[in-house]
Structure 1
Amino acid sequence: MKQAKLSLMGSAILLALASSANAASLKDTDVEFGGYIKADIMFSDYGNGAPDSGDISRQFYVPGTIYGKEGNGNQVVDFQARETRFNFKATTDVDGHKLSGFIELDFMTHTDGNERTSNSYSPRIRHAFVSYDNWTVGQTWTTFQNAAALPENLDFVGAADGTPFARQTLLRYTQGNFQFAIENPETTVTPNQGGARITSGSGVIPDVIARYNLKTDGGAAFSFAGIIRQLNLETKIGATQIDSSALGYGASVAGIIPVGKDDLRFTATYGEGLGRYMALNYINAGVLDANGDIESIRTFGGFVSYRHWWNEQWRSSVTLSGMQADNDVALTGSGVNKDAYSGYINLLYSPSKPLTFGVEYMYAKNSKENGDDGDLSRIMFSAKYVL
Structure 2
Amino acid sequence: MDNNTQSPAISAAIVFAIQALYSQSLFAQVYVEADQLLQVIEDQQRQLEEQEAQIQRQSAALDALRQQVEELRRAIPHDPSLPPRLKNHPPEISPSELEVAIAEAPTDWPGSIQVFGSETRVKISGFAELDANYDTGAIVSPAEFITSAIVTSDRTAAEGEDGQTNVSVQVSRLKFETRTPWGGRKISTEMAMDFLRDFTTAEPILQLRKAYGRVSDIFVGGSLLLGQDWSTFTNLTAWPNTLDYEGPNALPSLRHPMVRWQRVYHPTLSLQVALEAPDERVFEGAVEVSRWPDAVFSVISQTDRVNFQGSFILRDLRGSGEPQSAVSDTGWGVNLSGVIDMPGRLAPDFFSYSFSYGAGYGGLLNDFPADASYDFYENRLEAIPTLAWYVGYQHWWTPCLYTVVTYGLVQQDNFDFQPGFAFRETQYSSINLTWTPTPQWLFGVEALYGTREDKDGAYGSVWRTQFTSRISF
1:316/1:226 CA distance change after superposition, 3 Å: same
The whole-number CA distance in structure 2 between the counterparts of 1:89 and 1:363 is 37
Offset of 1:242 from its aligned partner? 2.1
Match of 2:213 in 1: 130
SS in 2 for 1:331: coil
Match of 1:39 in 2: 130
Q: Which has the higher strand share?
A: 1
Does the CA contact (< 8 Å) of 1:141 and 1:166 recur in 2?
A: yes
Calculate the TM-score normalised by the size of structure 1: 0.84
SS in 1 for 2:198: coil
Q: Which of these residues, 79, 86, 92, is aligned with residue 167 of structure 2? A: 79
SS in 2 for 1:61: coil
Does residue 61 of structure 1 match 2:145? yes
Q: State the percentage of identical aligned residues.
A: 23
Counting only pairs closer than 5 Å after superposition, residues 1-387 of structure 1 correspond to structure 2 as 27-46=118-137, 49=138, 51=140, 57-67=141-151, 69-72=155-158, 73-110=161-198, 121-133=204-216, 134-159=223-248, 161-176=249-264, 177-186=270-279, 187-191=281-285, 198-203=286-291, 205-216=292-303, 218-233=304-319, 235=320, 237=322, 240-259=323-342, 260-328=347-415, 330-387=416-473
Offset of 1:71 from its aligned partner? 4.4
Offset of 1:154 from its aligned partner? 0.6
> How big is each residue's C-alpha offset from its partner over 1:259-312, in whole Å with a ceiling of 9 and x where there is no partner?
121000000000011131123322333433522111111001110000000011
SS in 2 for 1:162: coil
Offset of 1:108 from its aligned partner? 1.2
The whole-number CA distance in structure 2 between the counterparts of 1:178 and 1:66 is 38
Does the CA contact (< 8 Å) of 1:283 and 1:325 recur in 2?
A: no
Q: Which runs of 5+ in 2 are unaligned?
A: 1-52, 68-113, 217-222, 265-269
CA-atom RMSD in angstroms: 2.4
The whole-number CA distance in structure 1 between the counterparts of 2:147 and 2:369 is 6
Offset of 1:50 from its aligned partner? 5.2
> How big is each residue's C-alpha offset from its partner over 1:121-151, in whole Å with a ceiling of 9 and x where there is no partner?
3321000000011000100100001122110
The whole-number CA distance in structure 1 between the counterparts of 2:444 and 2:157 is 33
SS in 2 for 1:59: coil
> How big is each residue's C-alpha offset from its partner over 1:8-48, in whole Å with a ceiling of 9 and x where there is no partner?
x9xxx9xx9xx99xx977621110001111111101111xx
1:331/1:382 CA distance change after superposition, 3 Å: same
SS in 1 for 2:325: strand
> How big is each residue's C-alpha offset from its partner over 1:140-185, in whole Å with a ceiling of 9 and x where there is no partner?
10000112211000101210x2111100000000011000000011
Offset of 1:95 from its aligned partner? 1.7
The whole-number CA distance in structure 2 between the counterparts of 1:286 and 1:42 is 34
The whole-number CA distance in structure 2 between the counterparts of 1:91 and 1:201 is 38
Q: Which runs of 5+ in 1 are unaligned?
A: 1-8, 52-56, 192-197
The whole-number CA distance in structure 1 between the counterparts of 2:453 and 2:407 is 17
The whole-number CA distance in structure 2 between the counterparts of 1:171 and 1:138 is 7
The whole-number CA distance in structure 1 between the counterparts of 2:201 and 2:348 is 42
Does the CA contact (< 8 Å) of 1:31 and 1:88 recur in 2?
A: yes
Does the CA contact (< 8 Å) of 1:230 and 1:246 recur in 2?
A: yes
Does the CA contact (< 8 Å) of 1:127 and 1:140 recur in 2?
A: yes
Does the CA contact (< 8 Å) of 1:359 and 1:381 recur in 2?
A: yes
The whole-number CA distance in structure 1 between the counterparts of 2:336 and 2:243 is 23
Calculate the TM-score normalised by the size of structure 2: 0.69
SS in 2 for 1:153: coil
Q: Which moved more, 1:60-69 or 1:298-307?
A: 60-69
Higher RCO, Cα 8 Å, sep 6+: 1
Offset of 1:96 from its aligned partner? 1.6
Does the CA contact (< 8 Å) of 1:185 and 1:201 recur in 2?
A: no
Runs of 4+ in 1 over 6 A off after TM superposition: 111-114
